[in-house]
């Protein structure tokens, strides 16, 4: 089978997803079972992937689905708990006190707080936390999902304390062979990985600085009463300031400290700088911007989860610090669970899963419910019972509401994630073909030749679109990007960095991330509408980074230790 035909067949599930979700406006619960079936058929008949391996991959996907749903449940449960305690009303008032301007609120909650949560936990958690919080303070549900998905860009390469680089890139490269080459050239694996980390941090910082502005411009254009781009650009000075307040410490941390903490430190420094100055009106436009009255909103803007109930007695006496305390606890515990070896070992000691599912070597899956953000979020919910002096029945009611919300998301994800695993595991087959994602990437490299660096981020984004994970995209495609660099005689570290940045941007259009974020605000069935919007910042991101890559190679002649 020619590489062109391989690429076309491998692209069918992606094209079909786009056609059904974006073109025909199908809800994901109808589209993804069809896409799963088509994917399995292509794997079986064209790739000659064994039926046993397809089933094993599907089981692996179901195990991952359990983990994803656990995270969603924790995020929804915390929001519902805080709603019943009265904290949400107090938090909403607190953000209004910083600024009544919805554009400012979006930047502070999504960009700064969301980036912090991404740095601590990753795996789609920021959207699952930020989207319902935005809804709770008065944003339309569909706008909150769009903004929540746009967080899945700049901080993602260093999400979950650097997992996409430390695990994704490291596992995706032929480390033993590379180490020999590096030592022969007077370098080391650690230096090479740090070079990739630095280039990822600098690339993200340059392109990502505009993301807060992108968020508010899209907010005013698609959800403003006047449908105006200009109303978004009015806040350009503050948006650029908030972008730089995050990306400068972010880049410096990546260059000098490594992959674990750029997103965390960037967001912390950003919040410390931006929030007090926002309260003082620094760089603010004279006129605050708001949505039209809620009774004028189209029906499809609204989710099925209400965040308007509250405990009137609690809200009167609750301080802003006390209202925020559960979120602060989430952040602290997430960080400790990732940086404290003993604490991490304690949480990961409870695990269940399978190795070599159905005898298929390398197809493994496990769930660590205490270590996953869902476990930490659920623990904080229990702590909130005491911190906010709630009644047990309020927490029980919050749990019931959260469980109900999971039903729709669960049905979609039990098809989406197994489909992803079939694609990823298709490298073992009777036709002796490369895995489907690698076949697509190979075709792109052969087609574009020396211009390939321009498209390297798009390949990474494609991997993330398929897998819904920067880490998995890096695992699948880092070695491929490095081999293409060898063929083109350009920097392997730079092409791997472009891969990692593109894979981060691809999270903005990853289907099951959109489903997960939509589920937290009760907006299942509107995934296509969100994807049609988030594809815009994704295109900006991958093209801008691709241009940076071409400039680095052709003007600055960037090289790395392996190419010496």
Question: How sure is the predictor about 313, in pLDDT bands with cuts at 50, 70 and 90?
Answer: very low
What per-residue confidence (pLDDT) applies to 119? Answer: 86
pLDDT at 409: 65
**pLDDT reported for residue 309:** 47
Q: What does the alpha-carbon distance between residue 338 and residue 43 come to, in Å, rounded to a whole number?
A: 37
Rounded to the nearest 5°, which phi and psi values hold at 284? Answer: -85, 145
Q: Terminal CA-to-CA distance of the chain, rounded, Å?
A: 37
Whether the predicted pLDDT of 510 surpasses 50: yes
Q: Please state the domain count of the chain.
A: 1
Q: Quick one: pLDDT band at residue 488, thresholds 50, 70, 90?
A: confident
- Average pLDDT over every residue of 287-313: 79
Mean pLDDT lowest among 400-409, 442-451, 491-500: 400-409
Q: Is residue 181 part of a domain?
A: yes
Using the predicted structure, report yes or no on whether residue 314 has a pLDDT greater than 50: no
What is residue 24's predicted lDDT score, i.e. its pLDDT? 85
What residues have CB less than 8 Å from 37, skipping those under 6 apart? none
The arithmetic mean of pLDDT across residues 476-502, rounded, is 91
251 belongs to a structural domain: yes
Position 366 pLDDT exceeds 90 = no
Residue 445 or residue 458, greater confidence: 458
- Does residue 22 have a pLDDT over 80? no
- Which pLDDT belongs to residue 310? 47
pLDDT at 549: 96
pLDDT of residue 563: 55
Residue 354 pairs in a beta bridge with 365
* Integer Cα distance of 427 and 471 in angstroms: 18
- Average pLDDT of span 48-77: 89
Burial of 539 from C-beta contacts in 10 A (0-12 / 13-18 / 19+): middle
- Whether residue 164 is contained in a domain is answered as yes
- Please indicate, yes or no, if residue 310 is contained in any of the structural domains: no
Residues 433, 382 contacting (CB under 8 angstroms): no
pLDDT at 242: 98
- Which two structure tokens, joined as six digits, stand for 530? 């969100």
What pLDDT, on the 0 to 100 scale, is given for residue 308? Answer: 54
Q: Which two tokens stand for residue 67?
A: 């983990």
**215: pLDDT confidence band, cut at 50, 70 and 90?**
very high
pLDDT value for 167: 84
Task: Please state, as a whole number, how many other Cβ atoms lie within 10 Å of the Cβ of residue 475.
Answer: 22
Report pLDDT digits (tens) over 73-131: 887 788 788 888 888 778 777 777 888 999 999 999 999 989 988 887 776 778 877 88
Residue whose C-alpha is closest to residue 70's, from 366, 408, 344, 375: 375
Q: What per-residue confidence (pLDDT) applies to 307? A: 60
pLDDT of residue 133: 85
Contact 44, 477 (CB under 8 A): no
DSSP three-state, residue 340: coil
pLDDT tens digits, 327-339: 888 878 877 887 7
Residue 14 makes CB contacts below 8 A (sequence gap 6+) with 462, 465, 466
Instruction: Give yes or no for a contact between 152 and 128, defined as CB atoms under 8 angstroms apart.
Output: no
Q: Report, as an integer, the average pLDDT of 470-478.
A: 87
Provide the b/e sequence for 252-262 (b: ≥16 CB within 10 Å): bbbbeebbbbb
Percentages (nearest 5) of helix, strand, coil residues in the chain: 75, 0, 20
| Contacts (Cβ under 8 Å, ≥6 apart) of 464 | 470, 472, 473, 502, 503, 504, 505, 506, 507, 510
Stretch 423-452: mean pLDDT: 89
Q: Any idea which of 219-223, 251-255, 472-476, 544-548 has the lowest mean pLDDT? A: 472-476
Q: By residue range, what is the domain housing residue 413? A: 3-305+315-563
Q: Give the pLDDT score at 48.
A: 96
Residue 78 counted as domain residue = yes
Q: What number of other Cβ atoms are within 10 A of residue 541's Cβ?
A: 28
250-285 tens-digit pLDDT: 999 999 988 988 998 999 899 999 999 999 999 999
Residue 342 pLDDT > 80, yes or no?
Answer: yes
pLDDT in tens, 197-213: 999 999 999 999 999 99
**Assigned domain for 104 exists:** yes
To 5 degrees, how large is the angle CA 329–CA 333–CA 339?
150
- How confident is the model at residue 5, as a pLDDT? 95
What's the CA gap between 280 and 242, in Å, rounded?
14
C-alpha–C-alpha distance, residues 528 and 258, integer Å: 37
Q: Over the chain, what is the mean pLDDT?
A: 88
| pLDDT value at residue 316 | 52
Give CA–CA dist 345/24, Å, rounded. 47
């Amino acid at each position: 089978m020619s590489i062109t035909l391989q690429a076309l067949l491998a692209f069918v599930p992606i094209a079909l997803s786009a056609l059904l979700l974006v073109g025909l406006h199908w809800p994901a619960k109808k589209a993804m079972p069809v896409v799963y079936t088509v994917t399995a058929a292509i794997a079986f008949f064209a790739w000659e992937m064994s039926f046993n391996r397809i089933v094993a991959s599907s089981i692996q996907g179901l195990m991952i689905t359990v983990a994803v749903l656990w995270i969603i449940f924790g995020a929804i449960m915390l929001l519902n708990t805080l709603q019943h305690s009265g904290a949400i009303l107090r938090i909403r008032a607190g953000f209004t006190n910083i600024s009544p301007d919805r554009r400012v609120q979006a930047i502070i909650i999504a960009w700064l707080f969301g980036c912090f949560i991404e740095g601590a936990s990753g795996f789609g958690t920021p959207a699952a936390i930020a989207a319902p919080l935005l809804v709770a303070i008065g944003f339309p549900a569909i706008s909150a999902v769009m903004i929540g998905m746009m967080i899945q860009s700049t901080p993602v390469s260093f999400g979950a304390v650097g997992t996409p680089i430390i695990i994704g890139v490291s596992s995706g490269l032929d480390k033993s062979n590379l180490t020999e080459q590096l030592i022969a050239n007077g370098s080391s694996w650690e230096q090479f990985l740090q070079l990739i980390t630095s280039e990822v941090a600098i690339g993200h910082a340059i392109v990502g600085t505009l993301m807060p502005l992108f968020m508010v411009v899209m907010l005013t254009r698609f959800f403003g009463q006047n449908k105006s781009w200009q109303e978004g650009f009015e806040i350009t000075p503050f948006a650029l300031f908030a972008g730089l307040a995050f990306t400068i410490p972010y880049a410096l941390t990546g260059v000098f400290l490594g992959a674990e903490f750029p997103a965390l430190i960037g967001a912390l420094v950003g919040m410390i700088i931006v929030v007090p100055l926002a309260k003082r009106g620094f760089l603010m436009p004279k006129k605050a911007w708001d949505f039209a009255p809620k009774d004028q909103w189209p029906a499809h803007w609204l989710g099925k989860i209400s965040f308007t109930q509250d405990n009137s007695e609690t809200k009167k006496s609750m301080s802003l610090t006390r209202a925020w305390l559960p979120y602060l606890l989430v952040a602290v515990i997430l960080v400790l669970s990732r940086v404290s070896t003993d604490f991490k070992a304690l949480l990961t000691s409870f695990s269940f899963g399978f190795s070599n599912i159905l005898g298929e070597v390398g197809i493994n899956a496990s769930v660590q419910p205490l270590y996953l953000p869902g476990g930490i979020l659920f623990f904080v919910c229990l702590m909130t019972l005491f911190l906010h002096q709630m009644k047990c029945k309020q927490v029980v009611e919050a749990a019931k509401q959260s469980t109900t919300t999971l039903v729709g998301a669960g049905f979609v994800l039990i098809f989406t994630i197994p489909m992803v695993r079939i694609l990823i595991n298709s490298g073992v087959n009777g036709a002796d073909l490369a895995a489907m994602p690698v076949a697509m990437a190979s075709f792109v490299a052969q087609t574009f030749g020396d211009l390939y660096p321009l498209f390297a981020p798009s390949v990474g984004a494609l991997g993330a679109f398929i897998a819904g994970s920067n880490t998995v995209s890096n695992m699948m495609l880092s070695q491929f990007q490095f081999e293409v660099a060898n063929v083109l005689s350009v920097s392997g570290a730079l092409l791997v960095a472009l891969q990692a940045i593109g894979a981060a941007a691809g999270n903005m259009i990853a289907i099951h991330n959109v489903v997960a974020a939509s589920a937290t605000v009760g907006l299942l069935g509107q995934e296509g509408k969100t994807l049609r919007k988030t594809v815009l910042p994704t295109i900006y991101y991958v093209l801008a980074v691709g241009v940076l890559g071409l400039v680095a190679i052709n003007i600055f002649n960037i090289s790395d230790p392996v190419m010496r």
